[in-house]
Chain A
Amino acid sequence: MKLREGTLAWLFVGPPLLCIGLVVFFPLVYSLWLSFTDVNLLRTTGPAIEVGGMRVPLYRWIGLRNYAQALADPIYWDSLWRTLYFVAAFVAEATVVGLGMALVLNERFAGRPLLRSLLLVPWSLSRIVVGLLWIGILDFEFGALNGVLLRIGLVEGAIAFFKEGWSALNVLVSVYMWNQAPFATLLFLAGMQSISEDLYAAAEVDGAGYWRRLWYVTLPALRPIVFLVLVLATVNGFLMLDLIYVLTMGGPGYDTTTVSWHGFKTSFTFFKFGPGTAVLYTLTALCLLLTVVYHKLVLARFEPEG
């Protein structure tokens, strides 16, 4: 029996599409639905559907009430400003440091392959491990950094890096940058490898030095990568949660509470899954908005090669 080409294609594509639908789209749509409903996990307040033998309650539709409740909470707005600072600082640091490391690792020198491999170690660690590792370095009582500083006499007493909210927030930014910048480096390196050597040769013939080659050849060619790094770093920055869990739990006070932590607490500590998902969907909206802004700013004048 001969199958039509279209049928055969659907046979191949169908199962993966179904899996993606179940694993990606269904939870996405369901969680968006939850943000408009009155959710109590233990009590159904609306109809339910069956998915693969599992009962999925739909709960009672309450419109925008969860969003109104989330936006009326002063903790949300404080968390939002803090999140914007966190994301801006993290994106800037991760991009600059990632680009700097990529520029170094793009040069030829002894030990480059080893360094390129080592570069991936921070990125490949679980963030819980990253948090514990940095507690080991920065802790007031047990921290290696305080130990070294005290031993060589640079400080008289141990430094409390998590004492004030401002310093604790910046520690979070730096630790997250340490964890994520290698990935940006990897993307930038891949981008640099694809730049034609002819462009550099031509620039050299025109008398361009290192910095001019960087400014007029490398950076323009890296625009799509810069866009990708900015988008990924922004999304990752907005969603960062695990380091807060390990390092500060949002404290002292609310000083390191970001919107993602606030949404997590609302959902999983206070069991308010409706308002919790509403809080987290405001982050999704912000991410989408910033993606559009980056697109306009970074890619607007970029013309891909024909």
Chain B
Amino acid sequence: MTLTRRTFLGTTGVAAAAAVLGEGRLRAARADRSINFAGWVFKPDTVKDYVDYFNKKHGGQVKYDAVPWATYHPTMETRAMAGEIVDVMYCNSANRERWVDNGLIRALDDLPGMDELKKKMAPGNLEAAKNRDGSKIVGLPYFTSLFILIYNEPMLQQAGITAPAKTWDELVEHCTKLKRNKISDTPYLPNWNNSGSGTMPQLLSDCHSEGATVFDAKNRLIVDQEPGAARALERWQKVYKDGLVNPEVLTKTSSTDTHRLFWTGRYAYHTNHSYYLRTIAGEPENSKLAPKKAKMAMYPGNGQTHMFTEWYTINAKTTALADAWKFATFLGGNLNGDWYVQRQWCLIAGLDNAYPEMYDNPEIVQSYDRWIDLKLLREQYKKGRPNNAFKEPWFSEWDSKAIAIVHNIIRGTSTVPRGLKELTALYKSLV
């Protein structure tokens, strides 16, 4: 075939038009190297969607790998041991410091734009983003959450209760009345499940609300010296003994399973992570308390509650730092200029974020309005207390083993003073 000036111009013109009209129009310059990204399994299709979006819009070459939650952290460590470099990784708070101490992940302070993100982050989350000695930022926030009090409004109304409990005594009184009047067999549903997101965060929340400090400023366990902690545990024993709580909550294996019990509409009060109210009050296809028959109230007592954050981290051995950081800021910062990823999590799963300015977004406000009082939730965040003890190397094991001790206190197989001593003895054996 002879190439004439006319055919050359025609061919290149068609090719250019195709590039502009097709996805190429969106595509920025391709990243030099591919990025490996791994996270535990939570809505992997959503994650895949935003990874695809990043690859198209920001010219990335990100490969996503979802690992089951139960073995996520050991899997990542095993892969690191075998020499594999996963550039960007999810990391939960209980394991993050171990990854810092062993050099698996790097500090982020020297990376461009970090100072700007620090200014935008809520103080509690910023504090949690730092390593143990507070000298370095070691993660960008994936999501943040705190414990809230949820109540079943129709059930309270049926019992003639006009407002949700403001104190723990009032909550117990309401539950006793509901049981006595046979409106509910087990009116109270605390998150006492057997996983890391259940019993112990619930204990921290209730201790905080009683004004008790579980760990001191140096992250030492002082729960046995706090009358507020004893009060919380005595109350737990009482509500269990009085049959106000479904006893099987102790063997539920996740907070997700626990919150589903509240869907039935047979409970009056529930304490759990804030995002679970989204399905309880916002999914009529699943929950009898949707739309918005279940509501949030300020946490009883002094209103303080446990707050935590999960993280995106960057591998210390990454050979594509610029691309890894760019992707990390897409996930945990605001690379897109519209809080793209954080907004997705808010809209799809009710997962909150560490950047308060995101809550001015009309789409977010409208979405939250379908399942929660956003203003009240933001007020609750002002009383959220992060737990810095998660940065200690002993914390993960203590946190896990403490569940059995607390369950024994709840069931009355151990007394409150003895249980508190056991918690302290466990701490001392690990420090």
Contact = CB atoms under 8 A, between A and B. Distances in A.
B279 to A, nearest CB: 15
B61 to A, nearest CB: 24
Contact of B194 (A42, A161, A251, A268): A251
Contact of A271 (B77, B266, B401): B77
Contact of B407 (A252, A265, A270, A271): A252
A54 B84 CA distance: 9
A142 B246 CA distance: 12
Contacts of A251: 194, 250-251, 403-404, 407
A248 B194 contact: yes
A249 B195 contact: yes
Contacts of A265: 400
Nearest to A158: B185
Contacts of B400: 265, 269-270
B415 to A, nearest CB: 14
- Chain B residues touching A, majority SS: helix
- Chain A residues touching B, majority SS: loop
Contacts of A85: none
B247 A250 contact: no
Contacts of B82: 54-56
Nearest to A273: B74
Given A40-B102, A162-B251, A248-B194, A253 B246 contact: no
B120 interface: no
B411 A253 contact: yes
Interface string A9-37: 00000000000000000000000000000
Interface string A237-253: 00000000111111111
B356 interface: no
A288 to B, nearest CB: 27
Contacts of B102: 40, 42-43
B246 A160 contact: yes
A161 B194 CA distance: 16
A220 interface: no
Contacts of B247: 140, 160, 162-163
Given A42-B103, A252-B407, A247 B251 contact: yes
Given A57-B81, A168-B251, A251-B407, A245 B98 contact: no
B99 A42 contact: yes
B186 to A, nearest CB: 9
A41 B194 contact: no
A283 B396 CA distance: 26
Nearest to B196: A269
A284 B77 CA distance: 26
B396 A42 contact: no
A16 B400 CA distance: 43
Given A55-B82, A139-B248, A168-B251, 10 more contacts: A41-B77, A41-B80, A42-B103, A56-B82, A141-B248, A247-B251, A251-B194, A251-B404, A268-B71, A271-B73
Interface of A: 40-43, 54-57, 75, 139-142, 157-158, 160-163, 168, 245-254, 256-257, 265, 267-271
